[in-house]
Every structure is written in structure tokens, then in C-alpha cells.
Amino acid sequence: MTKRKSFRRPQIQKLEPLLYGEDLSAPEWRNYIEVLATKLELNDYDWMNYKLFADVSTKEYGELKIEFAYFGAYFCEMKVENENVMYSFDFATQIFQEHIVRYIQKHMKSWGETYTFNGAEEVIDFYNDVLTSPYTVEKSRQVIRRRKH
Amino acid sequence: MKRRKYRKYALKDNTVFEPIVYDKLSFNLRNELDLFATTVELDDYDWMSYKLKAWLPTKAYGDIVIDFVYNGTSPCTMIIETKKKKYRFYFAIELFQEHIIKFLQKHIKHWDSKYAFSGTEEAVNFYNAVITHPKTESEDIETITREEALKRMAARRQKDMPQE
């Protein structure tokens, strides 16, 4: 009897930790991976609303848009978006605190140097810590655009 | 011909920005949370764009919004927005660097404390440093002198005078 091909819905990739340097690739519009796009927003206007945005180009997942957010609650949110999928995670605030402080300290140090600030390594560490933490919960994994087979 | 009466010293805007002492007396505090509104943006996406914004309910100038901006080029700008006008100041990068670092260090420290972070004291110090710095330049400030006011009144009078 021939086996029938099952039309199962294609599995959405699970996010794994990234190795800085190896797993990253040069974005199409830039010649080097050293400088990556990051943005920090510390909004204390009405309520604490701290966000860290980053655009990271990877070999495995393509160009990832990562957003870490803290809103004064007991958990933080990480959203990762690539061309096809949007992932959403909840993680512990201690991780956010630790990495935001490191990021800011690195930023302040760069003021005295000639090279532009590059927060990429810190962002990758942050991302990896969130994914590997036992307290992190993956809230959702949504397909936003169907990948063509 | 009836002569229009002008006020003797009709200045529209005579604002001079003086240093503010960070004290309850300098502000109109409506509630406890009034001195907490600040935002910091460190944008390294395409090009450096660092901003510090603070909302201050001052007694001297009303509710003002102070916006410090560094775009990677010298000089930095400080924009003060009052209810009626916007004023722009240009100042040296070193000032921005010094104060943004102090602000961020204070921010980092607050993570370990029980109290909410208030960056307004640092923002006020920054503002004071900018306006008292000898090399700060300003634009759009209309501190009209008495001579200038009289000149403007005369010009207006001439314009309004009916043609004979």
C-alpha cells in the first residue's frame, strides 16, 4: 500500500539562541555585520515604559526585528518578527534589568571612543538569555505571511 | 485725525531664560507625580539620534517642555516649548555628553531602589548648564529691547497712517 502524503500544516520554526558572528549575516543593504541597528527608549512620562529595539540579520531566520519591552509589571515582553512569523514571549524582569543596565553602560563607554556604538552583541546576549531562561513563556507564534514552498 | 493710543512699552515677548532652582517652590506641583515626566531616546538605527525630553511645570515660565537633541553633529540643540512659543538654543556636545551620562547613571541606579525614577532634577541641571554656558547660542528668542520695541511701534504707526 502506498503511503499517502499528508498535507500537514508546515511547522513554524522554533527560535534557537544565536551565536554572535557565526549565525549572523550581512544585511542586503549593508556590507558588514559589525554595525547593527538598535534603539533604546526609556519613557517615564506617565508610567515606566522601557523598550529596546533591534534589527538583526541572521542566516537561519532572515532579518529579525526584535523588541524587548518593560512596562513596570512583573514580567517583560519580547517580540521577534521576521518576514513570515511573529513570535511573542514573556520573560522575567531580572533579565531585562540586567541587560538594559549592561547596554546603557556600554553605550556610555562608547562616548569616549572614536567608533560608533554597536549594541549588537549585547542585544544577541539579551535575546539568548530570554530564549534559554526557564521562566520564559512563549505566548504565541503567528504566521504573518505564508512562505512559498 | 484720531491718534491710536499705544501702550508705552508694548513688548510681545520679553522672556529671558534664567536658571531654575530644583526646589518645590520653583514648580506648580499639582500632585506627587508632577516631577517625573522624562523620556530618553538613544536611536542608533541609521545614524545617532539621541534625545532627552522633560516636562516641567515651572512657576517662572509655565508648563514647559525641554527637548535636548544630539544628531551626531555639532552643535546640539535644546528646544524649550512654552505655551506660546518655541525657543532654540545651540550648545556644545560636551555638555550633552556630560549630562546624558549623569542622567543614564541615575536611571540605572534606580532599578535597585524602591522609589520610582525621577530624572527631572538632572534635566533641570542640564538646562541650567546650557543657558549659563558662555558658548551657548540662541535663536528665535525675542527678547525685545526698548529701542527695538519703539522702532516696531513707529513702523506700525507709519503703516496704519491713512494716506493723505
**A130: exposed, middle or buried (C-beta count within 10 Å: 0-12, 13-18, 19+)?**
buried
* Domain chopping of chain A, boundaries: 37-142
**C-alpha–C-alpha distance, residues B73 and B23, integer Å:** 34
A43–B43: do the CB atoms touch at under 8 Å?
Answer: no
* ipTM surpassing 0.85: no
The residue with cell 518576514 is A83
pLDDT at B1 over 90: no
Q: Is residue B15 part of a domain?
A: no
Q: Which three cell numbers stand for residue B155?
A: 513702523
Q: Using the beta-carbon criterion (under 8 Å), do B108 and A46 form an inter-chain contact?
A: no
Report d(CA A118, CA A136) in Å as an integer: 26
Does residue A146 surpass a pLDDT of 80?
no
Query: Measured between CB atoms, does B42 come within 8 Å of chain A?
Result: yes
What is the pLDDT of chain A when averaged over all its residues? 83
Cα distances from B90 to residues A73, B2, B21, B73, in angstroms, run 39, 46, 22, 11
Number of domains in chain B: 1
Residue B1 inside a domain? The answer is no
Contact criterion met (CB < 8 Å) for B101 and A111:
yes
Supply the pTM of this predicted model. 0.79
Tell whether B36 lies on the interface with A, counting CB pairs under 8 A.
Answer: yes
- pLDDT tens track for A48-93: 899 999 998 888 888 889 999 999 888 999 999 988 899 999 999 9
On the question of pLDDT at A104 being above 70, the answer is yes
Looking at the domain assignment, is residue B113 inside a domain? yes
Q: Check whether B71 has a pLDDT greater than 60.
A: yes
User: Domain range spanning residue B72?
Assistant: 24-160
Determine, yes or no, domain membership for B11: no
pLDDT at position B125 over 60: yes
B44, B105, B106, best to mutate vs chain A, most A CBs in 10 Å:
B44
Chain B residue with the nearest C-alpha to that of A55? B45
In the predicted model, is pLDDT for residue B18 greater than 70? yes
